[in-house]
Amino acid sequence: MIVQAVMRAGAGLVGVCLVLFVQLPARASASRTPPQDVDECAKSLDNCSIDAICQNTPRSYKCICKSGYKGDGKHCEDIDECVGEYTGGCVHDCINIPGNYRCTCYDGFRLAHDGHNCLDVDECLEDNGGCQQICVNMMGSYECRCREGYFLQ
């Protein structure tokens, strides 16, 4: 505490003015600062679903379902992308997997680089398709044929 005295003289009067400077206790000034935020996500104090992302917010947190899931973040369920007419955009087959899907192709086809379309496999390119004489590639298949004068066994 600082006490300061000042003497003043004026019109034959003498007076004393006191000026007090008082420092508040440490706990009183600390109550004015906002509380420190606790990162519930980093400390695993959240109750988000395993299929959700925890996002820290001031004095709390939010749970957001991951891509491929729906729900409130505390409960997330897989979205089946293969259901309905869209079927994940797959040309042949769509297989739902947790949080995602993948396209597959029928026998005789292979999946294109775009992951959705199916391309014909030319079986005749490898070992003549197993044919002894003539191999004819067809969409999704192949056929063995014989030269004139021979019969297919």
Domains of the chain: 36-79 (2.10.25.10), 81-121 (2.10.25.10), 123-153 (no CATH)
Give the pLDDT confidence score for residue 103 in this predicted structure: 97
Are 120 and 140 contacting, i.e. CB atoms less than 8 angstroms apart? yes
∠ CA 83-120-112, nearest 5°, is 55
pTM for this predicted structure: 0.61
Residue 120: Cβ within 10 Å count: 15
81: alpha, beta or left? (left if phi > 0; alpha if psi -120 to 50): alpha
* Selected residue with higher pLDDT from 146 and 11: 146
Query: On the CB side of 148, how many CA atoms lie within 13 Å of its CA?
Result: 0
| Per-residue pLDDT tens over the stretch 85-135 | 889 999 999 999 999 999 999 999 999 999 999 999 999 999 999 999 999
